[in-house]
């Protein structure tokens, strides 16, 4: 859900570990400090419609998605390369059809997510986002390969550590299966 710490986790994974990010494409305007090609690929709705997407969604009047070309390029990269992508439930389903793709859910309580969103977007926007996320079932972790709890007691370092433990265990299993 919005405000669960997904973007903060990705930033720390990229900084401290050899993690690469699949940069999503969106039609929304950049937030303060966001850079095109790093945080998102910011495009118009017309351009977005022309890009073949492996997954896409519509939220808050904007489109979000992962291009087929960037996903397939990452999929065929070195086996030990780890990529992370922030997607919604639709993206999880689309990516789940591929081997060596794992889904991690950052679980948080609505009140904690709302507090994070108030800090970022203000109280009015935060309340609306939480209501939409709850209505769309985004606070449900059902069907994910790994669930990491984020709350007031959890540091970003702990989230990153839990994420990396999960990834390393899955990579070890795949190496054993591949002989």
DSSP 42-76: E--HHHHHHS-EEEEEEETTEEEEEEHHHHHHHHT
170, 150 Cβ separation under 8 angstroms:
no
Give dist(CA 145, CA 151) in Å, integer: 20
Residues of the chain with pLDDT > 70, as a percent, come to 98
Kindly report whether the global pTM for this prediction surpasses the value 0.85: no
3-state secondary structure of 117: helix
Structure confidence at residue 80 (pLDDT): 65
User: pLDDT, tens digit, for every residue of 44-93?
Assistant: 999 999 999 999 988 889 999 999 999 888 888 766 678 888 777 777 88
8, 120 Cβ separation under 8 angstroms:
no
């Amino acid at each position: 859900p919005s405000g669960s710490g997904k973007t903060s986790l990705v930033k720390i994974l990229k900084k401290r570990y050899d993690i690469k990010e699949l940069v999503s494409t969106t039609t929304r305007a950049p937030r303060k400090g966001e850079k095109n090609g790093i945080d998102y690929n910011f495009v118009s709705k017309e351009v977005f419609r022309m890009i073949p997407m492996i997954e896409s969604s519509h939220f808050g009047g904007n489109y979000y998605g992962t291009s087929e070309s960037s996903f397939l390029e990452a999929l065929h990269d070195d086996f030990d390369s780890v990529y992370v992508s922030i997607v919604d439930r639709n993206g999880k389903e689309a990516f789940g059809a591929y081997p060596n793709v794992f889904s991690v859910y950052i679980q948080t309580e609505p009140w904690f997510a709302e507090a994070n969103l108030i800090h970022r977007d203000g109280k009015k926007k935060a309340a609306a986002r939480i209501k939409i996320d709850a209505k769309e079932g985004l606070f449900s972790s059902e069907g994910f390969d790994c669930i990491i709890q984020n709350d007031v007691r959890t540091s970003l370092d702990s989230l990153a550590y839990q994420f990396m433990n999960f990834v390393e265990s899955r990579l070890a299993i795949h190496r054993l299966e591949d002989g």
